[in-house]
Structure 1
Amino acid sequence: MQIFGDAMPVQTSTLETSASLSSLNEPPLLFPHSGKGTPFIIGVAGGGSSGKKTVCQMIMDRLLEKDKSVGVKVVIIRMEDFYRELNREEMELAKSGDYNFDHPNAVDFGLMEECLEDILHGRPVDIPLYDFQNHIRLPETMHIERPDVVIFSGIYMLYKRRVRDVLNLKVFVDVDSDVRLARQVVRDTEERYHKPLEQVLQYYVKHVKPSFEDFILPSKKFADVIIPRGQENTVAIDLLTQHIVDILDERASQAKQTLEAAVEVRTSTTSLATQVGNVDKFGSLPQ
């Protein structure tokens, strides 16, 4: 692991590890024969309001700047857009601020894995878009076709084993809880929901903090890279981006070598076939 820089119904869940029976009974999202040409997928996790979206955008901007001559296609996907569609009871809880959107059960992991599998196998996919004001999925979607790099962010990106297994790089944005709370207050009172301050604080104490401690923080151990202070840690983000560029360059070089080798074999085979075709089928007979 690398470290850069300085009452609603009870919801239960278990952090999936390599030994989880539920995980072992599920097939992998990517089979060995499907690995060639798959996009480079970066999973960015961290607590709510830790600045994951900003970190993802910074990585994307730097990747596009470094590889603008190559034309790398980079897309950002938000795990928040995979919130489950709520039933009537859950909708009432959401309106009153009693539905826990920070719990793993709030996420439609099945749909999320389907989309991931399509991306991994080079199939076009329509990513859902979520309306946070009305707690519903929008009719519009984000269409994606054969990206080179996918930056997938969300508090539970490192939570499920099947998801972790297909991530080429696992990142955890580590920001102090006081900073995350301050950002959530601004977001939920001014930007996303326009809720009263008291309701935001109650939601944080009742749902956000326990979910972070029970499910999100334990997933930190699966990270390849930890970024303390999040978006403020530009040194770490620059180093991480350069590391990604180096990996992409290496993959491109390997792909080129594989293509050249295939062309050489094809050329040699064609040449041999031509020579065989020119041989007299009766052999060399005396005149």
Structure 2
Amino acid sequence: MSLRPADERRTPFVIGVAGGASSGKKTVCQMIMDRLLEQDSSIGVKVVLIKMEDFYRELDGEEAKAAAAGLYNFDHPNAVDFPLLEQCLEDILHGRPTNIPQYDFHLNRRLPTTTRIVAPDVVIVSGIFMLYKRRVRDALKLRVFVDVDSDVRLARQVVRDTEVRYQMQLEAVLTAYLKYVKPSFEDFILPSKKFADVIIPRGQENTVAIDLLTQHIVDILDECKSESKEVASMTAKAQDLSLSGTVEARTATLLASLNKSNDKFGDLPQ
């Protein structure tokens, strides 16, 4: 079943950004986020960025030993705690606060601290498997795929893993790429490209595509904001009529407000 609530009028705008390892997904997300915040005075948005990497699952003893030796495949879907990711997306879509885990790449384990998210307007989630699983895809209002040449991705991964994240030896990085990263891209990530609404060739270098995508998001947010104002105005008028005894006004919004459930979007489909 879908993670989405039945009533989506006030649901946060969730964007999923997928692509191969080291394709620049987080940079693209940050560029979109910065451009949205630049227009904050006009659309008043609260933007949150989430990394799928923080949803790596807890490793057991043998897996932890393999990870420490560089022999654990973090580029396989089994490495991701999808149930936790889905739960967090469900909370966000239903207007509930949620706690996002934090992952330590040096210790290969989840940290005890979390990041709490409360009532965002826009949520951007980046990760290689954002378009891989149907339930996750269904939670997204916009699906983006960052399409970067494999040679560029490999060059970036060498720099990242030898200098930024792991301080690995070059030979180890190349071995991991051939054994894990490349097969995972071909088997799981590239096939998910067909589910994308928007494909950004060349990634962060394609500022024209990123600007157009950001403007599209702004237009949608403006439209949603106008609809919300219209619904609020209609509800207020209906309530005034009801109080005056003229009519018994029960719009969909008013009925929702009369619902005793703590979840303003109703029961979540199981």
Q: Distance in 2 between matches of 1:179 and 1:271?
A: 68
Matched, 1:41 2:3: no
Residue 217 of structure 2, aligned match among 244, 249, 257: 244
Give the equivalent residue in structure 1 for 2:105.
Answer: 132
Counting only pairs closer than 5 Å after superposition, residues 125-164 of structure 1 correspond to structure 2 as 125-164=98-137
Higher alpha-carbon Rg = 1
Matched, 1:50 2:23: yes
Q: Distance in 2 between matches of 1:61 and 1:235?
A: 15
- SS of residue matched to 1:77: strand
For each residue in 1:82-127, what CA deviation from the matched residue of structure 2 results, as whole angstroms up to 9, or x when unmatched?
A: 0011011111111111110000000000111011111111111110
Matched, 1:31 2:23: no
Q: Are the structure 2 counterparts of residues 246 and 69 from structure 1 closer, same or farther at C-alpha, using a change threshold of 3 Å?
A: closer
Q: CA deviation at 1:28?
A: 1.9
Give the equivalent residue in structure 2 for 1:82.
Answer: 55
Q: CA deviation at 1:273?
A: 4.8
For each residue in 1:4-43, what CA deviation from the matched residue of structure 2 results, as whole angstroms up to 9, or x when unmatched?
A: xxxxxxxxxxxxxxxxxxxxxxx2212314x231100000
C-alpha RMSD over aligned residues: 1.2
Gaps of 5+ in 1: 1-26, 275-287
Q: Distance in 2 between matches of 1:70 and 1:228?
A: 28
Partner amino acid, structure 2, of 1:72:
V
Give the paired residue count. 247
Gaps of 5+ in 2: 248-270
Partner amino acid, structure 2, of 1:214:
D
Q: Distance in 1 between matches of 2:6 and 2:44?
A: 27
Q: Distance in 2 between matches of 1:59 and 1:198?
A: 35
Q: CA deviation at 1:210?
A: 0.2
Q: CA deviation at 1:166?
A: 1.4
Q: Distance in 2 between matches of 1:110 and 1:166?
A: 13
Give the equivalent residue in structure 2 for 1:120.
Answer: 93
Give the equivalent residue in structure 1 for 2:267.
Answer: none
Matched, 1:179 2:152: yes
Give the equivalent residue in structure 1 for 2:79.
Answer: 106
TM-score by length of 1: 0.84
- SS of residue matched to 2:145: strand
Q: Distance in 2 between matches of 1:131 and 1:29?
A: 28
Partner amino acid, structure 2, of 1:116:
L
Q: CA deviation at 1:69?
A: 4.1
Q: Distance in 2 between matches of 1:256 and 1:191?
A: 47
TM-score by length of 2: 0.89
Give the equivalent residue in structure 2 for 1:225.
Answer: 198
For each residue in 1:205-232, what CA deviation from the matched residue of structure 2 results, as whole angstroms up to 9, or x when unmatched?
A: 0000000000000000000000000000
Q: CA deviation at 1:66?
A: 1.5
